[in-house]
Amino acid sequence: MIRSLDQLPAGRALDTAICIIGAGAAGITLACELEECGVSVTLLEAGGLHIDPVASDEYYRGTATPPHPNPSEFRRVGFGGTTKIWGGRCVPFDPIDFERRDYISESGWPIGYEEVARYYPRALEYCDAGAFDFSATGSLSRNARQTPLLPGLRANNCLIADRIERYSLPTDFGTRYRRRIARSSTVLVLTHARCLALHRSAGAPGLESVTIADRTGNRHRLRAGVFVLATGGIEVTRLLLQSDREGPGLGNHSDIVGRFYACHFENILARLVPLHGTVPFDFERTNDGVYCRRKLLLTEEAQRRHRLLNTAFRLHFPTYSDAAHGNSVLSAIYLAKSLLIPEYRNILRHGSETSANSPAREHLENILRGVPELARFAFRWLLLRNLSTRKLPYTLVSNRDGTFPLEFNCEQTPSASNRIKLINDVDRHGVARVHVEWRLSEGDADAAYRAILLLRDVLRDYSACNLEFDENTIRRAIGRSPPLGGHHIGTTRMAASEKQGVVDTHCALFEVPNLFVASSSVFCTSSHANPTLTIVALALRLADYLKRDLTARTTILHSRGETPSLAAQGPQKPRVAARDT
């Protein structure tokens, strides 16, 4: 069932067994999984069924330390959340990401890789991204496998060239699962229901209710037995700190909420030069029909031996802004950048630090010289992007000279000084806005520099390719690398004890045991991987835990002849309680 909070009388309370706050990838996955529990589930969405750009900016606007983008970017109000603008890239974490690495401070998860990996197959189903196989050998056809990513690459113990990244449709979770949830008799979605505060139970450690507001500002109380924050790394932090303004914030007695914020950092500062052979620079289709791209990774052995962060390398297209690429498609996209959303306009500037921003006249000349090429591209784009259910992820155009810009994407060392904190400015509901304090450490920049040097040496010794870059400027340029502003990681990290983190191994707050977090904010480290697939995997893991917990509670209470509590009630429809707040 889907209803707007505006349709409910003001001043009435809502009762439900489980309240999920945030209808993005994690929240919608949880709602779908908990539907079969037979208890009432209420899913709160601050926006409507579609993106509201005005509301998105109003709710999420804040401040940030450059070069981190404003907190309003890469976040959207609407059923489906940021999956409505998601590119669809699905990448799993690696086993080393969960391990304690003595050269990376605050690394190590309190759970192992297998605890998350067993949920990846189901997460890939939710994302519409195919099988849990991220090897080119297992995913691509025999003919495709016969063309390696790098010509002449020989076996070595430093470099993996057999990995792929898979792409979803891209799947807008709001559109994909709307009908399923609308038909549910136990799940209620309340749209235009902005969560303003979380309220502790009097004299008890748990959460008792939340305050929500509709579009006109009318407020309601919603009571539940179990609450899940699924609003993303920045908003989870905001709500926890906002809900205890007189104190340190909910779950923050150890001063960890909001700290250890991390993004991936990336840049394009080198170019791959094949000496002979063919480089498969395009999207390929896996055996199960999913778009994928190949990439390079450092082996776990190389990471440990050289004390490196987990880093991925991808072949890239030329910089859009530099008309020297001579390509009509890239020039047309660059000139049309004002039609793109701000986040995608930023992508057009990616790699421009080492390239020219050419005048519009030069881009127009490229377009006029390449009209047939542009027409072919437009037809292909219309066919494979606009008219297909599974869409071509983005534009890939090769350099005319046969070389390839090389992009690196690197994890960050967790740092308590990188954080999300509240500021004095408030939104129209009186909720404090946030400031994002993010910096790239010298140690992390050094690690990325050493990774590029290692890659150069391995390619020189074990392949028919060279890696070229300006040795006089590359280290300084790495230090100015921008963060991936859509990857909000680590602000309520998982830990074995409340002195080390905010949530336990089941993603429950140590200080508020019936409040759970389904977000990349619980990540202890960030890997090189985009977070969405692992967010969904952890949401599935949390759903299984909640289902087991509800079953156990109900069984125990019935064995005692007691009535199940609100959190373990039997099948029922979510209801509006005839009780004033």
Beta-sheet pairing, 63-64 with 284-285: unpaired
How would you classify residue 441: left for phi > 0, otherwise alpha for psi between -120 and 50, otherwise beta?
A: beta
- Find, among 431, 32, 490, the residue nearest to 195 by Cα: 431
What is the rounded radius of gyration, in angstroms, for the C-alpha atoms of the chain? 24
pLDDT at 416 over 70: yes
pLDDT at 571 over 70: no
Burial 483-507 (b: 16+ CB within 10 A, else e): bbbbbbbbbbbbbeebebbbbbbeb
pLDDT the model gives residue 568: 41
pLDDT at 235 over 50: yes
pLDDT the model gives residue 469: 96
* DSSP helix, strand, coil percent of the chain (3-state; round to 5): 35, 20, 45
Q: Give the mean pLDDT of 209-220.
A: 91
pLDDT at 349 over 70: no
pLDDT the model gives residue 423: 94
Q: How far apart are CA 267 and CA 172, in angstroms?
A: 28
Helix/strand/coil (H/E/C) assignment for every residue in 528-570: CCCCHHHHHHHHHHHHHHHHHHHHHHHHHHHHCCCCCCHHHCC
- Find, among 203, 216, 207, the residue nearest to 243 by Cα: 207
pLDDT at 26 over 80: yes
Please report, to the nearest 10 degrees, the dihedral formed by the alpha carbons of residues 20, 21, 25, 26 taken in order.
Answer: -50
- What angle is formed at CA 83 by the lines to CA 444 and CA 411, rounded to 5 degrees? 10
pLDDT at 85 over 70: yes
Confidence of residue 577 (pLDDT cuts 50, 70, 90): very low
pLDDT at 138 over 70: yes
pLDDT the model gives residue 575: 42
pLDDT the model gives residue 377: 85
Q: Give the mean pLDDT of 30-56.
A: 90
Q: Give the mean pLDDT of 25-50.
A: 93
Q: Give the mean pLDDT of 46-70.
A: 89
Q: How far apart are CA 180 and CA 175, in angstroms?
A: 10
DSSP H or E segment with residue 42: strand 41-44
Bigger pLDDT: 481 vs 333: 481
pLDDT tens for each residue of 500-516: 999 999 999 999 999 99
Structure tokens at 578: 């005839």
pLDDT tens for each residue of 243-283: 987 778 888 999 999 999 999 999 999 999 999 888 988 99
Q: How many CA atoms lie within 13 A of 431 on its CB side?
A: 25
pLDDT at 520 over 90: yes
pLDDT at 560 over 50: no
DSSP-assigned letters across all residues of 110-134:
SS-HHHHHTTHHHHHHHHT---S--
Helix/strand/coil (H/E/C) assignment for every residue in 133-196: CCEHHHHCCHHHHCCCCCCCCCCCCCEEEEEEEEECCCCCHHHHHHHHHHCCCCEEEEECCEEE
- Find, among 316, 404, 332, the residue nearest to 366 by Cα: 332
DSSP-assigned letters across all residues of 326-391:
--HHHHHHHHTGGGS-HHHHHHHTTTGGGS----HHHHHHHHHHTHHHHHHHHHHHIIIIIS-SS-
Bigger pLDDT: 550 vs 533: 533
**Residues facing residue 43 across a β-bridge:** 20, 189
Confidence of residue 338 (pLDDT cuts 50, 70, 90): low
Q: Could you identify the residue written with the tokens 């408030």?
A: 426
Please report, to the nearest 10 degrees, the dihedral formed by the alpha carbons of residues 409, 410, 414, 420 taken in order.
Answer: -20
Q: How far apart are CA 308 and CA 331, in angstroms?
A: 37
Kindly report the length of the chain.
581
- What angle is formed at CA 362 by the lines to CA 360 and CA 365, rounded to 5 degrees? 110
Bigger pLDDT: 320 vs 372: 372
pLDDT the model gives residue 452: 97
Q: How far apart are CA 41 and CA 327, in angstroms?
A: 52
Q: What CATH number has the domain spanning 1-86+173-263+415-440+489-581?
A: 3.50.50.60
pLDDT at 302 over 80: yes
pLDDT the model gives residue 363: 87
Mean pLDDT of the chain: 89
**DSSP symbol at 236:** H
The percent of residues above 90 in pLDDT, for the chain, comes to 67
pLDDT the model gives residue 562: 44
Q: How far apart are CA 97 and CA 413, in angstroms?
A: 11
**Distance of alpha carbon 150 from its chain centroid, rounded?**
29
DSSP H or E segment with residue 452: helix 442-462
pLDDT tens for each residue of 13-23: 789 999 999 99
Q: How far is CA 70 from each of CA 75, 216, 490, rounded to the nearest angstrom?
A: 10, 26, 18
Q: How far is CA 434 from each of CA 212, 230, 321, 505, rounded to the nearest angstrom?
A: 19, 18, 33, 27
Confidence of residue 331 (pLDDT cuts 50, 70, 90): confident
Residue 90 CB neighbour total at 10 angstroms: 26
- The contacts of residue 133 (CB under 8 Å, 6+ apart) are 139, 286
Q: How far apart are CA 374 and CA 369, in angstroms?
A: 10
The answer to whether the CB of 556 falls within 8 A of the CB of 545 is no
pLDDT the model gives residue 346: 62
Bigger pLDDT: 27 vs 563: 27
pLDDT the model gives residue 553: 59
pLDDT the model gives residue 565: 47
DSSP H or E segment with residue 575: strand 575-580
Q: Give the mean pLDDT of 464-469.
A: 96
pLDDT at 572 over 80: no
The answer to whether the CB of 266 falls within 8 A of the CB of 448 is no
pLDDT the model gives residue 38: 84
Confidence of residue 356 (pLDDT cuts 50, 70, 90): low
Q: How far apart are CA 130 and CA 566, in angstroms?
A: 38
Bigger pLDDT: 326 vs 413: 413
pLDDT the model gives residue 291: 96
